[in-house]
Amino acid sequence: MAQVPPVRIVQAANFVRNKLHNLTRRMAPAPVQVLEIAGGFINSQVVYASTKLGIPDALSSGPKSAADIATAVNGNPDAVHRLLRAAASIGLFALDSHGRFGLTAMSRTLCSDADDSMRPVVLMLGDPSYWSPWGELTYAIQTGKPSADKVFGKPMWEYLGDNEEFETVFNNAMTALTKLDWPTVAAVYDFTPFDTIVDIGGGQGQLLKLILEAAPNASGILFEQKSVIEQAADFLGECGTLPRCTLECGSFFDTVPLGADLYVMRRVIHDWDDDDAVDILSTIRRSIPDHGTLVVLESVVPEDNSPHFAKTLDLDMLIFAGGRERTEAQFRTLVKRAGFEVSRVIPTISTLSVIEVKPRK
């Protein structure tokens, strides 16, 4: 696992970075600032189109002309050149003195075979199924209801179950994000004291795989919906972790596996409003032994005006699931309603915090 810098060092670096960003932004006239912010979707689609076409993979062997890239990705040469020029202007590609385009540190993460590939995440963020509900943000703000319900005609989770193509895109992105976050979690939390670890709503099993690698004497249980279990079995089988796992399917509103000493949920609670979140936590409380531990991996919203991805992700939760990101105080209130108490909140250098929860006795 790559060395992760201390949290306090990253926090100091981010503080300086944000100060410089704000200073740079204020140097532009206010109308220009508004234009740059409002036009941010253009850069998002530039990154998506480049990734969807496979341009980073086409450049993995070295710089190429726009014409050669167009041939490799079956694109129009002039249009491909214009896309590359725009992408290079934001640092996605690099234009050399021979008129060829090459990879940069950013675009290397969009190659299919990159260890830290962001390709699955970008393919989700730019997908029309993800993009369209964001176009109805005004509806969500006016009604307090998920705009995804309006766009899809059904709740997000039903839409995923009925749309196999986007469900695969979504699950691949969640797996990639779990892998991206993992080193920052492993740097601050020790999983080795636990014997049986249940990952609730663990998707394809990436997080459970990583936890079991970090805790080689533990066994694991993946608890998921039936529609995801088959994909999880394939994934865990391919990576060699399946012999140490039990796969169970069901609804965490009804039941979860009994008697484990550690239960883990990564970005599950934020999908739900407070009452539903309490119902989920209460289900766990009925199953967890009094000596057990629940680890909730979620973003914690700062209560000041500092920049934090959780503040944007909070709108994402409103749009797609009717859920929310929460402050530390809100988490403490939430778990108390379900018979738990927060024992500690551990920040990481990513957007996640490790919220350790114990049963109230």
- Rounded to 10 degrees, what is the CA torsion of 38, 39, 41, 47? -150
Whether 84 contacts 101, CB under 8 Å: yes
Name the residues annotated as catalytic: 270
Q: Indicate the SS3 state at residue 300.
A: strand
User: Could you please report the per-residue DSSP string of 185-215?
Assistant: HHTT---TT-SEEEEET-TTSHHHHHHHHHS
C-alpha–C-alpha distance, residues 204 and 18, integer Å: 35
The beta strands (E) that lie in the chain are given as: 93-95, 101-103, 196-200, 219-224, 245-249, 262-266, 293-298, 340-347, 353-359
| Token pair belonging to 153 | 């005609």
Taking residue 344's Cβ as centre, other Cβ atoms within 10 Å add up to 11
Whether 321 contacts 332, CB under 8 Å: no
